[in-house]
């Protein structure tokens, strides 16, 4: 094969790869735009977002996981609730609201073409930023 044909083949493969990467980024941006357009999801203090798309599965950020309880998550979002008893009705209301918003975020993403499943992933970066913000706020 001539050098020219090899070069063209490599460039076509590279262009296809870059296009695929760009499409995946566009897909994530498009899904996040859908989330921000939904008033229920967008008005919640924590912004659920699509982190990536793996095949037909959208990976969405979450405050909860096996290692972070709902109460820990809500105490981070609503620091003023930390002093309330575990059985206080505000905790129950906040838990219901978080569950409803997370379910709504999942429904919004599932309504998009090409997405058949969602998977929730703990937003460790958000917790890290909240911790840094808390330390910064207490320093001044």
Residue 95 CB partners (closer than 8 Å, separation 6+): 70, 71, 74
Give the model's confidence band at 36: pLDDT under 50 very low, under 70 low, under 90 confident, else very high.
very high
pLDDT of residue 96: 94
Tell me, what's the pLDDT at 69?
Answer: 86
User: Per-residue pLDDT for 18 more than 70?
Assistant: no
Contact 102, 48 (CB under 8 A): yes
Top-confidence residue, 47 or 18: 47
3-class DSSP state of 112: coil
pLDDT, position 10: 74
Alpha helices, DSSP H only, in the chain? 3-37, 39-42, 70-77, 89-110, 124-139
Q: What is the pLDDT of residue 130?
A: 77
End-to-end C-alpha distance for the chain, whole angstroms: 68
28 pLDDT exceeds 60? Answer: yes
Task: Fill in the DSSP letter of residue 79.
Answer: G
Q: How far apart are CA 95 and CA 79, in angstroms?
A: 14
What's the pLDDT at 9? 79
Confidence bin at 68 (pLDDT 50/70/90): confident
For 89-105, what is each residue's pLDDT tens digit?
999 999 999 999 999 99
Highest mean pLDDT among 11-15, 19-23, 81-85: 81-85
Buried b (16+ CB within 10 A) or exposed e, 74-98: bbbebeeeeeeeeeeeebeebeeeb
Report the percent of the chain where pLDDT is more than 70. Answer: 86
- Which uninterrupted H or E stretch holds 121? strand 117-122
């Amino acid at each position: 094969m001539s050098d020219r044909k090899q070069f063209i083949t490599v460039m076509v493969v590279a262009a296809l790869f870059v296009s695929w990467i760009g499409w995946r980024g566009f897909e994530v941006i498009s899904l996040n735009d859908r989330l921000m357009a939904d008033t229920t999801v967008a008005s919640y203090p924590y912004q659920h977002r699509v982190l990536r798309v793996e095949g037909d599965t959208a990976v969405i950020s979450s405050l909860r996981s096996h290692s972070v309880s709902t109460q820990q998550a809500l105490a981070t979002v609503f620091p003023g609730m930390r002093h309330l008893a575990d059985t206080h009705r505000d905790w129950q209301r906040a838990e219901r609201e978080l569950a409803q918003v997370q379910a709504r975020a999942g429904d919004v993403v599932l309504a998009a073409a090409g997405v058949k499943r969602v998977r929730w992933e703990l937003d460790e970066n958000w917790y890290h930023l909240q911790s840094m913000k808390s330390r910064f706020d207490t320093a001044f």
